[in-house]
Amino acid sequence: MATPSAATAADRPARPNSSRLSEGQFAAVLTMPVIVVLLAVVAYPTAYSLWMSLHRIDLIFKRTDPVGLANYAQALNSPDFWHSVVITLYYTVLVTVFAVLIAVGGALLLNEQFRGRGFLMAIVILPWAVSLYATAIVWKYIYSPEWGLLNALLLRTGLVKDPVLFLSEKGAVPALAVANAWQIAPLGMYFVLATLQVIPEDLYKAAKVDRLNAVGRFRHVVLPYIKTPLAIVMVLVTVEAARAFDIIFFMTNGGPGDASTTLSWNVYRESFVSRQLGYGAALGWLLVVLTTVITTVYFLLLFTNRQRKQKSAAATV
Amino acid sequence: MASPVSPAAIRLDNVTKRFETFEAVRGLDLAIESGELLVLLGSSGCGKTTTLNMLAGLEQPTSGTITFGERVVNRVPPEERDIAMVFQSIALYPHLDVRDNIGFALKTRKVQRAVIDQRTQEVAGILGIEQLLDRRIHQLSGGQRQRVAIAKALVRRPQLFLLDEPFSSLDAALRRQMRAELVRIHREVETTMVFVTHDQEEAMAIADRIAVMSEGRIVQLGHPLDLYEAPVNLWVAKFIGAHPINVVEARAAAGGATLLADGSWSAPVPAPIAARLGERADGAWVGIRPEHVEVLPPGDGPGLLRAEVYTRQILGTEVLYELAAGGERLRAVTPTSHLFRIGDPVAARFDWGNAFVFDRATEACVHQPGRRAGA
Amino acid sequence: MTAGFPWRRVLVYVAALLLLVWTLVPIYWLLNMSLMFKPELLSVPTHLWPHSPTISNYTRLFGATAMGPGGEMPPIGQAAMIRRGLLNSGIVAVAVTILTLVIALPVAYALGRLEFRGRTAMLFSIIMSRSYPPIAIVVPFFYLYSRVGLQGTTQGLVIVYLTLTIPMIVWVMTSFFGSLPRTVEAAARIDGNTRWQTFTRVILPMSWPGVAVATAISFLICWNEFAFSQILAAGSRAQTFPPALATMFFQVSQPNEMAAASIIAIIPPAILAYLFQRRIRSLNLVDPL
């Protein structure tokens, strides 16, 4: 066994290869393509859209006139804009509340032991796989006054005499929000479930020994664990809801009237229906600002909460 | 260090490795002899793993040179060094079966299929894993995985064999068995091996030589028994040995020495120890291993210390006592012939022929027991 | 717990049933509609299951004729457009997925396993590029494409889809690579691989489960995308399936035919989600850090 080694790589003269690079240089080579691609397809259009938002763009006569901040001023002075911001916030809050309730409820349920749990766990992801546009079609037919499931049930049970118009001026936003929550909740459910499953079994036992009831166990055992993941889910859902487009396109087209015209629908309408690309770009940036504000507020809440906790933890030591 | 008959296979000369602001290895000099099993021993953060990684080529020294034979290898990447390595976390490829894992490195080096098969069979024989060759990695037990990892390293017939705490994730019994097998395999293949561990028992069990490391430096290099019988300083004395060594304050006194911090015990001591103590006005540390402390029924006499049994652990053939005396605790390991209970008054006696003396300021060993012949 | 009526168990099963109903019934309703002839669909109140089920809505979508209650029915009017859309969706999804893997896997490997300056900043900016609302990014693309002639082209769609898939796949695979055992690189290097070979010969083969999920996710993103295709390619030869469906949806009101087409839209992602649900659960798509 102690014969000279057959693998004589060490004696070969060094040739240039990836091992001549340091770890940092090698990483630079690997990350180069993505930097180039993201510069081209994200950074460049982003910068371009900023430029567009400072111009009035006429697609027919192919003219662009610099207008400074006029597009932004126009938006901020427009009741339509503020209406769409309010609708966006309303819609976003509803989607977040519905989705979080479904996600936490579903996760708590799937954390229990029962027959058919594995099957249910596999099935609940289905709405997430159904795209948002297909979700819109699905729910359009749930709500439909002519052939909708809800009206079929309501009429059959005699609860109503005439079909209910769910996508009415008052009902449109909540109805859209339910559909959106149906689609997005499963992801949050999986995420919360994953966290629930790392809670040590002993903690539940300790809580039972301490005679905590189900509510107490949720408050003192479960909630501390899922707080952070829950906040992350909320950020994700909020941002997704704030940019909802497919659902509105298929279900209400922003209506009736402008009852469900969110800011993102406003961007679409101004850019591609009214063909005001400069104004649309400016609205797009205001949408970016809005989503950024929402996420920042969440992170601040989360962060200060965590700090307070650390302080109180330090005080008890 | 290198003896003329076995020339140094690998040398580290004044090797330093700095990470950002942290110096992991500081001016290390080490000559590894051809065919020896050298253990790098130290607690975590002592630089032993960094040293191993530099031998492997996974890290490059900040300064100094590493030489394999005649060749300086500082900047040679690992795949061009003729080395094999076994990891603590058993780095086997989960997508390959045992046979392909063992042959992987040879395949990468474009060795012929027939040669790979023949050598795989050979090392599988050495490690007794022939019947596992077609299994998947996740079907193996911890011990089997580590055997496969060693086989994978052996099959290369490398110039240097590196082992990074390979047995630390195994249970105690299996760990002992794997150590014994490693020593046997080493005898069989005669490859130079460098083995990193934080476990002094493991180091003592397998090493030809041990390099004890601390804070990026080698504190002592030598045969396992050398470290046990002649530690260069208090730190090594504390680090080596199954049970921690007792360390008590001592001062020269008429007819011997006063011992313990409060000077509550006086005992006659051999002349060389008395002399070392006499040279030091504020005294010195006396170190004595628990194996060399006798526990007797209570009584008075020259050199006897009144004490009380504080804790007791029966280890099987021996008993480990912790004795309370003069505000201090002393450990003693004695045969089970006479058992004392916790709280019993006893008398303790040091076997002064096996005591060490350490300087208080430098902690260097200034007296050690006479060397046993043939160590 | 005191013996007696097992309230808790009953509660769990009731909740499980509710969750099942909530999840499946909307899709069931679509299926129900897709298996009816138009007259049955129009009965008031609508039947809760098809009393005379038919698959004619599906066969007619693929260009066949069928016998209905009112005699022979021709293929669905938009059938050709729908089929063309399906084909385009497939082409775009495959092209985007291949490009995404080629570009994203190396960078995800670097981000997940290598130490280098700017690593955190890069991870952060790649993830942040996801937070840009698609409806906002499509505005500049619309204008740029109208000027360089990429409007209504497959290439144009492929390019915009990369803005969705690359950050997502980098995100998912960075956490996947990061979860591999710490010593893999060291072992691979000592086994004789260069840095690049370590990635291609050891890391990638080891990571096939992660790569499979990444492929599925990338495919799902493309298949399910509507806004970009609607705005940049609606009505063109490159139009993918969803805008084709939208055209059908708003042109004529044949909900049973529309339901059949929608079921077809749902099938591929449903299959992928079912196959990969275990991995999706362990992958943590929400928060890779």
For residue C214, give the amino acid letter. A
Which chain A residues are within 8 Å of B76, Cβ to Cβ?
10, 14
Q: Is C152 on the interface with A (CB under 8 A)?
A: no
Say if the Cβ atoms of C135 and A243 lie within 8 Å. Answer: yes
pLDDT in tens, A97-151: 999 999 999 999 998 888 889 899 888 989 988 889 999 999 998 998 888 888 8
Q: What is the mean pLDDT of residues C242-266?
A: 87
Say if the Cβ atoms of C109 and A116 lie within 8 Å. Answer: no
Q: Is A288 on the interface with C (CB under 8 A)?
A: yes
Instruction: Order across the sheet with B192-197: list the strands.
Output: B83-86, B160-164, B192-197, B37-41, B209-214, B217-222
SS3 B244: coil
Q: Which of residues 68-127 of B touch A (CB under 8 A)?
A: 68, 71, 73, 76-77, 79-82, 105-106, 109, 111, 115
Tokens found for residue C199? 């990635």
Q: Which helix (H) or strand (E) segment is A111 a member of?
A: none
* Cα C79 to Cα C264: distance, rounded to the nearest angstrom: 13
For residue A285, give the amino acid letter. W
Sign, CA torsion B309/B315/B318/B320: negative
Q: What is the pLDDT of residue C286?
A: 52
What does residue B234 show for φ and ψ, rounded to 5 degrees?
Answer: -60, -40
Say if the Cβ atoms of A137 and C30 lie within 8 Å. Answer: yes
DSSP secondary structure string, B130-172?
GGGTTSBGGGS-HHHHHHHHHHHHHTT--SEEEEESTTTTS-H
Say if the Cβ atoms of C20 and A120 lie within 8 Å. Answer: yes
Low-confidence ranges of chain B (pLDDT < 50): 1-6, 372-375
* Cα A95 to Cα B207: distance, rounded to the nearest angstrom: 66
Q: Is B111 on the interface with C (CB under 8 A)?
A: no
A4 sits in the region (left: phi over 0; alpha: psi -120 to 50; else beta) called beta
| Alpha-carbon gap: A190 to the closest alpha carbon of chain B (Å) | 27
Give first-to-last CA distance, chain C, whole Å. 40
Q: What is the pLDDT of residue C253?
A: 66
Q: What is the mean pLDDT of residues C258-275?
A: 89
Q: Which of residues 8-27 of A touch B (CB under 8 A)?
A: 8-10, 12, 14, 19-20
A9: nearest CB among B71, B109, B115: B109
C186: nearest CB among B85, B95, B104: B85
A125: nearest CB among C115, C189, C280: C280
Q: Which helix (H) or strand (E) segment is B212 a member of?
A: strand B209-214
Any idea what the Cα angle at residue B39 is, between residues B33 and B43, rounded to 5°? Answer: 145
Q: Testing the interface with A: which of B80, B113, B120, B187 to mutate, by most A Cβ within 10 A?
A: B80
Q: Testing the interface with A: which of B55, B62, B75, B82 to mutate, by most A Cβ within 10 A?
A: B82
* Cα C176 to Cα C182: distance, rounded to the nearest angstrom: 12
What is the ipTM metric for this complex? 0.87
Q: Which of residues 155-184 of C touch A (CB under 8 A)?
A: 159-160, 162-163, 166-167, 170
pLDDT of A9 strictly over 50: no
* Cα B215 to Cα B41: distance, rounded to the nearest angstrom: 12
* Cα B284 to Cα B274: distance, rounded to the nearest angstrom: 11
Q: Are B245 and B287 in contact (CB under 8 A)?
A: yes
Radius of gyration of chain A (CA): 27
pLDDT in tens, A59-104: 777 778 888 888 898 889 899 999 999 999 999 999 999 999 999 9
Q: Is B156 on the interface with A (CB under 8 A)?
A: yes
Say if the Cβ atoms of B188 and A12 lie within 8 Å. Answer: no
Residue A147: partners with Cβ closer than 8 Å, 6 or more residues away: A141, C33, C41, C42, C46, C255
* Cα A282 to Cα C201: distance, rounded to the nearest angstrom: 48
The DSSP symbol for C76 reads P
Q: Is B76 on the interface with C (CB under 8 A)?
A: no
Neighbours of chain C (3+ CB pairs under 8 A): A, B
Say if the Cβ atoms of A5 and B77 lie within 8 Å. Answer: no
Q: What is the pLDDT of residue B185?
A: 87
Q: Is C246 on the interface with A (CB under 8 A)?
A: yes
Say if the Cβ atoms of A3 and B156 lie within 8 Å. Answer: no
Q: What is the pLDDT of residue A317?
A: 38
Say if the Cβ atoms of C140 and A48 lie within 8 Å. Answer: yes
| Alpha-carbon gap: C58 to the closest alpha carbon of chain A (Å) | 17
Chain A nearest-CA residue for B109 = A7
Q: What is the pLDDT of residue B1?
A: 41
Tokens found for residue C211? 């790569």
Which chain A residues are within 8 Å of C135, Cβ to Cβ?
243, 245, 264, 267-268, 284, 287
SS3 C73: strand
pLDDT in tens, A249-284: 999 988 788 888 999 999 999 888 888 888 999 999
Which chain A residues are within 8 Å of C272, Cβ to Cβ?
129
Return the number of CB contacts < 8 Å for B and C. 55
Which chain B residues are within 8 Å of A7, Cβ to Cβ?
82, 105-106, 109, 111, 156-158
Chain C nearest-CA residue for A228 = C287
What does residue C29 show for φ and ψ, rounded to 5 degrees?
Answer: -65, -40
Say if the Cβ atoms of C186 and B91 lie within 8 Å. Answer: yes
Tokens found for residue C81? 């457009």
Q: Is A49 on the interface with C (CB under 8 A)?
A: yes
SS3 B50: helix
CA–chain centroid gap for C240, Å, is 13
3-state SS string over A112-129?
A: CCCCCHHHHHHHCCHHHH
The residue whose two tokens read 């693998």 is A7
Q: Testing the interface with B: which of A1, A11, A15, A18 to mutate, by most B Cβ within 10 A?
A: A1
Tokens found for residue B42? 């130290």
Q: Are B85 and B153 in contact (CB under 8 A)?
A: yes
* In A197-222, alpha helices (H): 201-209, 214-217
The DSSP symbol for C53 reads -
Residue A302 burial (C-beta neighbours within 10 Å; 0-12, 13-18, 19+): middle
* Cα B282 to Cα C49: distance, rounded to the nearest angstrom: 100
Tokens found for residue C203? 């890391």
Q: At what angle do helices A223-242 and A172-196 cross, to 10 degrees?
A: 140
SS3 C128: helix
Residue C159: partners with Cβ closer than 8 Å, 6 or more residues away: A41, C150
The DSSP symbol for B297 reads S
DSSP secondary structure string, B308-366?
EEEEEEE-SSEEEEEEEETTEEEEEEEETTSPPPTT-EEEEEE-GGG-EEE-TTT-BEE
Say if the Cβ atoms of B188 and A1 lie within 8 Å. Answer: yes
Q: What is the pLDDT of residue B374?
A: 36
* Cα B71 to Cα A10: distance, rounded to the nearest angstrom: 10
pLDDT of A12 strictly over 70: no
Tokens found for residue B226? 């050398």
pLDDT in tens, C114-172: 888 888 888 888 877 777 788 888 899 998 998 888 988 999 999 999 998 998 899 88
Chain A nearest-CA residue for B107 = A7
Q: Is B53 on the interface with C (CB under 8 A)?
A: yes
For residue C86, give the amino acid letter. L
Q: Are B134 and B98 in contact (CB under 8 A)?
A: yes
pLDDT of A316 strictly over 50: no
Say if the Cβ atoms of C287 and A232 lie within 8 Å. Answer: yes
pLDDT tier for residue A209 given thresholds of 50, 70 and 90: confident
CA dist C174 to A43, A267, C104, C166, Å? Answer: 21, 33, 9, 12
Q: Is A157 on the interface with B (CB under 8 A)?
A: no
What's the residue count for chain B?
Answer: 375
Tokens found for residue A244? 């909802």
Pairing of strands C71-73, C66-68: antiparallel
Q: Which of B198, B141, B195 is nearest to B170 (CA)?
A: B141
Q: Are B224 and B203 in contact (CB under 8 A)?
A: yes
Q: Is A46 on the interface with C (CB under 8 A)?
A: yes
Say if the Cβ atoms of A1 and B82 lie within 8 Å. Answer: no
Q: What is the pLDDT of residue B9?
A: 84
Q: What is the pLDDT of residue A304?
A: 64
Tokens found for residue B162? 């590196």
Say if the Cβ atoms of B81 and A14 lie within 8 Å. Answer: no
CA dist A219 to A203, A303, C116, Å? Answer: 13, 20, 42
C183: nearest CB among B83, B87, B104: B87
Q: Which helix (H) or strand (E) segment is B283 a member of?
A: none
pLDDT in tens, B151-188: 888 888 888 999 998 888 888 888 888 899 899 889 88
Say if the Cβ atoms of B85 and C201 lie within 8 Å. Answer: no
* pLDDT-above-90 percentage for chain C: 33
Strand partners, A122: none
Q: Are A291 and A242 in contact (CB under 8 A)?
A: yes
Tokens found for residue B254? 């008429």
* In C179-240, alpha helices (H): 184-190, 195-197, 204-206, 208-224, 227-233
Say if the Cβ atoms of B108 and C183 lie within 8 Å. Answer: no
Residue A270: partners with Cβ closer than 8 Å, 6 or more residues away: A276, A279, A280, A283
* Cα A211 to Cα A216: distance, rounded to the nearest angstrom: 9
Q: What is the pLDDT of residue A180?
A: 94
Instruction: Order across the sheet with B345-350: list the strands.
Output: B293-296, B345-350, B305-314, B318-325, B328-335
Torsion of CA B53, C115, B198, B50, to 10 degrees: 30
CA dist B258 to B282, B347, B360, C33, Å? Answer: 12, 16, 16, 100
pLDDT in tens, C66-86: 777 777 788 887 888 888 999
Q: What is the pLDDT of residue A83?
A: 92
For residue B32, give the amino acid letter. I
For residue B370, give the amino acid letter. G
* Cα B321 to Cα B344: distance, rounded to the nearest angstrom: 11
* Cα B31 to Cα C170: distance, rounded to the nearest angstrom: 46
For residue B164, give the amino acid letter. D
Q: Is B79 on the interface with C (CB under 8 A)?
A: yes
Mean of the per-residue pLDDT values for chain C?
Answer: 86
Q: What is the pLDDT of residue B51?
A: 93
pLDDT tier for residue A187 given thresholds of 50, 70 and 90: confident
Q: What is the pLDDT of residue A310?
A: 57
Give first-to-last CA distance, chain B, whole Å. 18
Mean of the per-residue pLDDT values for chain A?
Answer: 83
Residue C166: partners with Cβ closer than 8 Å, 6 or more residues away: A34, A37, A38, C100, C103, C104, C126
Q: What is the pLDDT of residue C57?
A: 85
Q: Are C145 and C239 in contact (CB under 8 A)?
A: no
